[in-house]
Amino acid sequence: MRKNIVAGNWKMNTTLQEGVQLAKEVNESLKSFKANCGVVIAVPFTHLASINDVIDKNLLGLGAENCANKVSGAFTGEVSAAMVASTGANYVILGHSERRQYYGETSETLKEKVALALENGLTPIFCIGEVLEEREANVHFDVVKRQVEEALFELSAEDFSKLVLAYEPVWAIGTGKTATDDQAEEMHAFIRNTIAKKYGKEIADNTTILYGGSCKPSNAAQLFAKPNVDGGLIGGASLKSESFIDIVKAF
């Protein structure tokens, strides 16, 4: 059966020293109890190698927040999937709405990033989600279906089964306005059904689908109790070890 995961997305926060300290704290806390889910932190590129050295990867997975859509070469400032993997990281967030919105990422480039991540043994945490106007116009299901189809549905069944998906309604990110557990469940069930139609029920049932958007200790348990919500992708609340661990304990 599919794995439950709580993943932190630190975004562009913490200096290297602060990040190493935070990772150590999370790692220490995870030694003190048995988590009922996988736990991952996705951190800035600059922090990956140092954090990899101070955490127990049996307790805590490590990921990047992005990678390039090119293999290598003259792409100043980019960081390749192979470089990410060479730090010891195992995950990479791809298609986050902030990347789509501020850096013009499209399904075309994301398709290339997903392929390169998989080739380098990284597990993509692939983000999808509608903006407020799309929900208000009642096209949120169409939007999310298109995001999944365009970037992911050319993958082989074997490759698709390596992905983690994250539904993050853009209107809920960093706004304090969480989707209700029923809204999350409704969309997660829809995504799973969309996957089942393409890849079959077994692969759909085995796909981990995380919820992201103002997930915090006070609402995590209610969200995670829904049958199709397999954990969370946590922004703000992952920047303090205590709140992040409280979310882990919601499982």
Q: How far is the CB of 113 from ligand 13P (least distance, A)?
A: 16
Told to judge if 168 belongs to the known catalytic residues of this protein, a careful annotator would answer yes
Q: How far is the CB of 85 from ligand 13P (least distance, A)?
A: 21
CA pair distance 226, 236, nearest whole angstrom = 22
Position closest to ligand 13P via CB? 235
CA pair distance 251, 247, nearest whole angstrom = 8
In this structure, the number of other CB atoms found within 10 A of the CB of residue 142 comes to 12
Cβ-defined contacts of 108-112 (< 8 Å, 24+):
108/150, 109/69, 110/69, 110/151, 111/150, 111/151, 111/152, 111/154, 112/69, 112/70
Query: Helix 181-199 vs helix 217-224: angle between axes, to the nearest 10 degrees?
Result: 40
Catalytic residue among 47, 96, 140, 188: 96
Q: Which is nearer to ligand 13P, 231 or 235 (CB)?
A: 235
Q: How far is the CB of 185 from ligand 13P (least distance, A)?
A: 18
Positions that interact with ligand 13P (CB under 6 A) = 9, 96, 168, 173-174, 212-215, 233-237
Q: Which is nearer to ligand 13P, 120 or 238 (CB)?
A: 238
Q: Which is nearer to ligand 13P, 129 or 192 (CB)?
A: 129
Q: Which is nearer to ligand 13P, 117 or 199 (CB)?
A: 117
List phi, psi (to 5°) of 40.
-135, 145
Residues serving a catalytic function are 96, 168
